[in-house]
Structure 1
Amino acid sequence: MLGWALVFLIVAIIAGVLGFGGIAGAAAGIAKILFFIFLVLLIVAAISAAVRGRTP
């Protein structure tokens, strides 16, 4: 999922440089959403591993 966030971030940067503002904004928004979903899943996995007593 983090890979998809990076792909959308790169698409947003390229679209912004080429002047496609709407596409750049949409891709940047998708990248942000995917990044925060990944971050939440990472925190949940770390907490569940800590509760079970395993190292991450």
Structure 2
Amino acid sequence: MLKGAAFFAVIALILAILGFGGVAGFAWDLAKILFWLALIIAAALAVLGFTIYKKVS
């Protein structure tokens, strides 16, 4: 998911340089959504991993 966020951020940068502001804004918004989604999933899995690890061992 972070690869997708980085990909859309680069696409947004290229489109902004070329003058496609609307599409660049959409790509940037999509990159931000993917980044935050990946961060939330990573935090949730870290919390679950620490709590389940304590219960298993």
Q: TM-score, normalised to structure 2's length? A: 0.89
Larger radius of gyration: 2
Counterpart Cα distance in 2 of 1:10 and 1:48: 32
Unaligned 5+ runs, structure 1? none
In the TM superposition, residue 4 of structure 1 has moved relative to its aligned partner by: 0.5
Correspondence for 2:42: 42
RMSD: 1.1
Matched residue count: 54
Counterpart Cα distance in 2 of 1:25 and 1:34: 14
Counterpart Cα distance in 2 of 1:52 and 1:33: 28
Paired letter, 1:29: D
Q: TM-score, normalised to structure 1's length? A: 0.90
Aligned ranges 1:1-56 → 2 under 5 Å: 1-53=1-53
